[in-house]
Amino acid sequence: MSDTRAMTVGRAHAVRIGLMTGDGIGHEIVPATQQVVSAAVAAAGAAVDWVALPLGRDAIDTHGTPVPDSTLDALDGLDGWILGPHDSASYPAPFQGQLPPGGAIRKRFDLFANIRPARALTGVAATVPGMDLVVVRENTEGLYADRNMFVGSGEFMPTPDVALAVGVVTRRACERIAHAAFTLARSRRKHVTIVHKANVLSMTTGLFRDVCVEVGEQYPDVVVDDEHVDAMAALLVRRGADFDVVVTENMFGDILSDLTAELSGSLGTAPSVNASESKAMAQAAHGAAPDIAGHNRANPTALFLSAAMLLEWLGEKNGDRTLLSAGQRIIRAVEGTIAAGVATADLGGLASTSEFTEMVLARAQRW
C-alpha cells in the first residue's frame, strides 16, 4: 500500500460490488455471501452498493448467452466482483466449447493472479494440521488452451488420433506473478517456493523458474527455494505446514491448489481471488456442485472467505481501513462459527447452509 495514501477510518461510504449468482449451489451460497458481506461492511462503518449482473444459465434464458456484453461492460465500472460457481458443462450445445463465464471475465480483464490460500481451520479435521500457505497461480498462460492464444485454441488435432497442445510462458507474465508472490510473502512469513518442472520442460518452466529467481533478488528479505512439481506434491503431504507462499504456473497451480485445499480441510472451505493490478474477483475454488444444489446443504465458507479476501484487497488498494476491518470480521466470524462446532455436512456437521449463515452473520455483526 502506498505510504502517501491516507487510510480512511469509519467514514460512511459505499463500495460498489458486482454480484453474479452463477449456477447450482450459487443460488444458495451467493445470496448468503451477500448478506454476510453487507453485515460485516455495515458493522465496520461503510456500506455496499450491490449491482446484480446476469451470467451463466440465467443469462442464457434472459440474454441468449451465458456471458452478456452488458455484464462485462458493467463490471468495468465497479470496485470488485463476487462470482458464484458455474456449471458450464451443462449449458446447451451452442454454448459448449466457449470460454466458461469465469474464464471470459478473467480473460477480458487480464486477471493474471489466482491467489488460493490453504489454511487449516480450528474445528476442521485437516490432513495436514498447521498448514497455512498461499498458492499464487499464474492465470493467463501455460498449457491452458483457452488462455494462451490471441485467436483460436492452443490445442490441435491434425488427425483423429493425434492431439497437440501449445504451452506458452512469457517473461512478462512470469515477472508480474513473481512480484505478486514476493509482495505477498513480505506480509507473511517471508518465504517463497517456486514450483516448476525445469528438468523436463526446461525452456518453458525453466524460464518461469529463472524469472522468478531474478525477481526474487529484488526482495532480499524473502527466503527463496524451488521444487519440481512432482516432488512438491509429495512434500505438501509430508510436511505441508512448512510452506508459506508457493508460486507456480497455471496448470501446476490449478492441481496443487486443489491438493492444498483438501489437505488443509476441504474444497468447501477453499477461497480464492483472481486479480490484476486494478481489478479483483472473489471466486470459491469449488464448482457448482449440482449433486447437492437446492438442498440447503452447501458449505458457503469458501465464498465467504473469498469475499473477505476481496474486501481486504480493496482495503489495501484504496487505503481503506473499514474494508480491511470488514474482511477481518468475516474471517473471524467464519473461524469462530466452525470452532464452536457449527458446520455443514461436508465437514461432518449438521448445519444447513442457512443455519450456518445465520451463525456467521450474528458473529460478523457482533465483533
Q: By the criterion CB under 6 A, which residues form the site for ligand ATP?
A: 25, 267-268, 286-289, 291-292, 298-299, 302, 346
Instruction: Report the distance separating Cα 222 and Cα 192, nearest Å.
Output: 7
> Is 225 an annotated catalytic residue?
no
Residue 287 or 319 with smaller CB distance to ligand ATP: 287
Residue 121 or 302 with smaller CB distance to ligand ATP: 302
Residue with cell 491467489: 115
Instruction: Report the distance separating Cα 149 and Cα 109, nearest Å.
Output: 15
Helices 229-239 and 250-264 meet at what angle, rounded to 10? Answer: 10
User: What Å distances lie between residue 176 and 136, 150, 276, 317, CA to CA?
Assistant: 11, 19, 9, 17
- Catalytic annotation, pick one of 23, 87, 197, 226: 197
**Which triple of cell numbers denotes residue 104?**
471470459
Instruction: Report the distance separating Cα 243 and Cα 112, nearest Å.
Output: 22
Residue 83 or 288 with smaller CB distance to ligand ATP: 288
- Catalytic annotation, pick one of 79, 91, 144, 320: 144
| Least distance to ligand ATP, CB of residue 305, Å | 11
Residue 236 or 284 with smaller CB distance to ligand ATP: 284
Our CA dihedral for 224, 227, 229, 234, rounded to 10 degrees, sits at -110
Residue 267 or 362 with smaller CB distance to ligand ATP: 267
- Catalytic annotation, pick one of 23, 79, 254, 346: 254
* CA angle centred on 72, ends 67 and 74, rounded to 5°: 130
| Least distance to ligand ATP, CB of residue 55, Å | 14
What three-state secondary structure class fits 192? strand
| Least distance to ligand ATP, CB of residue 286, Å | 3
> Is 144 an annotated catalytic residue?
yes
Residue 260 phi/psi, 5° resolution? -65, -30
Residue with cell 494462451: 148
Residue 322 or 344 with smaller CB distance to ligand ATP: 344
CB atoms within 10 A of CB 206: 16
Residue 53 phi/psi, 5° resolution? -130, 130
| Least distance to ligand ATP, CB of residue 146, Å | 14
Q: Are 253 and 234 in contact (CB under 8 A)?
A: no
| Least distance to ligand ATP, CB of residue 89, Å | 7
> Is 197 an annotated catalytic residue?
yes
> Is 291 an annotated catalytic residue?
no
| Least distance to ligand ATP, CB of residue 32, Å | 11
Q: Are 342 and 354 in contact (CB under 8 A)?
A: no
* CA angle centred on 256, ends 253 and 262, rounded to 5°: 135
Q: Are 205 and 249 in contact (CB under 8 A)?
A: yes
Catalytic machinery residues:
144, 197, 230, 254, 258
